[in-house]
Amino acid sequence: MNRIGRYILAALAILVSTHYLLSFTHERYGQATSLSNLTNKFASTPETSTTPSNQSPSLSNSLNETFANGQPKANATFVILCRNSDLEATVKSIREIEDRFNRRYGYPYTLLNEVDFTDEFKNRIRVLTAAPVEFGVIPRDQWYQPDSIDEEKAKAAREKMQKDGIIYGESVSYRNMCRFNSGYFFRHPLMLKYRWYWRIEPDVHFHCDINHDPFWFTISMYEYESTIPTLWRHVKEFMKLHPEHVAQDNAMGFLSSDDGNTYNLCHFWSNFEIADMEFWRSPAYMSFFEYLDQQGGFYYERWGDAPVHSIAAAILLPREKIHFFDEIGYEHNPYTHCPKLGTNWQDGRCSCDQAKSFDYNGYSCMAKWDKLMGLPSS
């Protein structure tokens, strides 16, 4: 090869190396110059469970690299809220999602805790995956009961719930978790670089191979009415104050059978949740969360993040932006979703028993969702 040819190859090598270095160290550059962004600029993005009603998902900020086969890879992470005492249960969950999905896709993990993770915890988790893993501490003001809460009033509510036998009725830490998941996890410093997330809990099970990239709720059920006695009243007040945030063609029919006058207690179980954080970070949702937070119901009652997320998605988004993943077999004891549609069960080599799926149990709201979406119920 002559000297000019060698110079050209050397220049190309430097150019390519610089491109890859910038792609990995400067997210916006990587997004703007990714093959998927250049070749699919006018393609529509896959359906997502939470896309802002006044925003269309754009490839420039939802994709930052591609898989070897050219399929776009989402700017996404698994997020796990856990404690050091949850080590064994967290190991099981990550091992299963790796075996059933992530060993082929390599999405990163973000683990969050109210205190520092131990070295043992970090080492046990890192060995499970070749994907990047980050461990973060939740800022104190995002986790603990705020000073604005009347502790005597909150304590009286906890004691009454405990006396009434309501699950987690006495727990302050459970309430901290619900508030954090409702309004703060997507604002954690480690989460800010991502647009999409897939929430995983310790000690959950994935029963089927996940043969496609779903980054775009799987069990729907009724909430305990005694944990949210005033939540719907505040939701209706918010809608009156902010009609501009209520989406047309929303999913109110899943939440209420009388045009929103009363709440039927249906919600999506948020311990399995794949969503677009642009919705949670949007003015509409932030206004909704801050309004609810000011009412103190996370502590004076026991508002869960599942009904908060579900109600927000159902009224602030068009219904087509919410997707039910039949193909993902999932279990969080004591409930299981086992795929039933088409060949999903066979294609996923599912280990779950379809006859034991919770979907159309008497305590399930799945039939209401099917009716709203015009789908046949099993």
CB neighbour list of residue 22: distance below 8 Å, 6 or more residues apart: 29, 30
- Please answer whether residues 289 and 308 qualify as being in contact, where contact means their C-beta atoms are separated by less than 8 angstroms: yes
- Residue 331 CA to residue 350 CA, distance in Å, equals 12
* Residue with token string 């269309």: 56
Name the DSSP class of 208.
S
- Residue 363 CA to residue 378 CA, distance in Å, equals 15
Active site residue 134: no
Residue type, 84: N
- Residue 316 CA to residue 287 CA, distance in Å, equals 11
- Please answer whether residues 330 and 218 qualify as being in contact, where contact means their C-beta atoms are separated by less than 8 angstroms: yes
C-alpha pair distances (Å), 331 with each of 178, 207, 353, 374: 20, 8, 11, 26
Residues 139, 145, 147, 152: what is their CA dihedral angle, to the nearest 10 degrees?
-160
**Which one of 273, 278, 301, 331 is the catalytic residue?**
273
Q: Is the dihedral of CA 154, 160, 161, 162 positive or negative?
A: positive
- Catalytic center residues: 273
